[in-house]
Amino acid sequence: MKKISCLIALQYRSSFYHVKFPGGLISLLSNCFELDADTNSTILLSGYVDHFQTLASEDIGWGCGWRNIQMLSSHLLSHRHDARELLFGGSGFVPDIPFLQRWLEIAWEKGFDALGSHHFNHSVYGSKHWIGTTECAAIFRSFGLRARIVDFGPKELQSFFLSVPGTSLTPTVMTANASDKRKAFQVYGPMDRYLVGRNSDVSQLDSIVNDKSQSTTNYMAGGSDHSMANRFPRKKEGHQVLLDWVWNYFSEESLTTSVQNQHVVITNRVPLYFQHDGHSRTIVGIQSRPQKNGVPQYNLLILDPAHRTVALERSLRENAGWKKLIKRGVHTLKKPQYQLCYIDPGIAIGEEMEQLKKIDSVFIEF
C-alpha cells in the first residue's frame, strides 16, 4: 500500500526524556522497593518502559491517550521481537503523535473499529481529539497484536459499555454505539477466560470455549485453562475487583521472567492502558500487602503522562516522594467507570485478524 510505504519513510521518532539509568524507570522503581523495609509485600512489574509526558507546546490537555500508547509501544519494542518486526512498519522506534494519528487512520481504512472511525469522521491527523481504549486497541490490532478491552462499572450502566472513542465515559456519549460495539462473551485468550468466569458460571464458559475451539488458533490451549477463572471468588467489594484483576494479570506464573529478590518480580506482561473519565495513565505493576483479614491490600503502580519524567527520575533516584507519584490504592479509585486495554502474547493472522476488527469488551461489575 503506497500510503503505508510513505508513512514508514516519513515518520520520525518521538522525542522524550531518556532516563539515564540502566533499565530506566522500572529498574529505579524496583530498586526503591528492594530498599523498602516492608519485606512482606510482593511487587510485580512489567519490564522496561519509557515514560512519555504531555508537553505544553504540543499536547497538554488532550494528548494523554497518545502518550500512553507510546509507553506501551516502548515496552513492546523493547521486549517482543515479533512486535518489533510489525509495529510501525518495522521502524524499531516509537513515532511522534502526528504519525500515530496516521497509523490510526490506516487501521480504520483496514476495517478496524469501523464505528470509531465513523465517530471521528475517519480523520484524526492534526487534531486535538481525545482518544481512549478503543483507539489504542485499534492501532495495536491493526499490526496483529491481540489487544483486548475490559470495562469495569456498576451493573446499571452495563448497557453503556463499551465506550465510544474519547476519555468521556458518560452514558450520553456511550449510548449511541454501545449495543453495536459490544459482543457478549467474546472469548479469545487466557485473560478473557478469567474475565468471563468472573461474571458467568463455569458451564457457560465451557460451552463458549468449546464452541470457539473449532475456529480459534492454538494459542488458546497453551497454558490457558480454567484455573484463572476459578482462582478468585466471584464477588468483591466495589473497586477492589479492578485491583484483583490487575493482580491476576501480572501474576500469571508462566509469564514471570525474573525475581529481583524475594518480593520484587519482573514479569513479561505488557503495561496496561488505564482509562477513566477525563484522563488515562499507564499501569506498570502492582504491589500486594497481606492484611489480618486475609484480603490483600493492593497498590497500582502507575506512570502518568501528566507528570514530568525528570521529576519521576529524581524522586526514584533519591528514594523520596516517588510513592505519591506512582502508588495508587483502592481509595484513589473514585470514578464510577474504568477501562483497561491489555495485550495478550502472540500475533494474530488470517481469520483471527478479521475477528479483531470488531472492537468489543468484557464487562466486570463493581
Question: pLDDT tens-digit profile of 303-315?
Answer: 999 999 999 999 9
| Confidence at residue 199, expressed as pLDDT on a 0 to 100 scale | 39
Beta-carbon contacts of 3 under 8 Å, excluding residues fewer than 6 positions away, are 106, 109
Q: Which position has the grid cell 463455569?
A: 202
> Long-range contacts of range 173-176, CB-CB < 8 Å, 24 or more positions apart?
none
Termini Cα distance of the chain: 45
Give the global pTM: 0.81
| Confidence at residue 288, expressed as pLDDT on a 0 to 100 scale | 94
Cα–Cα distance for residue pair 46/323, rounded to 1 Å:
17
- Return the exposure string of 286-296: e unless at least 16 CB atoms fall within 10 Å of the residue's CB, then b: bbbeeeeeeeb
Nearest to 287 by CA among 302, 274, 276: 302
- The one-letter amino acid at 189: G
pLDDT below 70 — which residues of the chain? 160-237, 253-262
DSSP state of 290: -
| Confidence at residue 261, expressed as pLDDT on a 0 to 100 scale | 56
Q: Which alpha helices (H) appear in the chain, and where do they start and end?
A: 2-10, 24-35, 64-79, 81-86, 97-109, 114-119, 133-142, 171-181, 190-199, 202-212, 227-230, 240-251, 309-317, 322-326, 351-356
Orientation of helix 24-35 relative to helix 309-317, angle to 10°: 30
| Confidence at residue 205, expressed as pLDDT on a 0 to 100 scale | 32
Dihedral of CA atoms 196, 165, 74, 6 in degrees, nearest 10, equals: 130
Pairing of strands 145-153, 42-45: unpaired
Cα–Cα distance for residue pair 366/353, rounded to 1 Å:
31
| Confidence at residue 258, expressed as pLDDT on a 0 to 100 scale | 55
| Confidence at residue 262, expressed as pLDDT on a 0 to 100 scale | 61
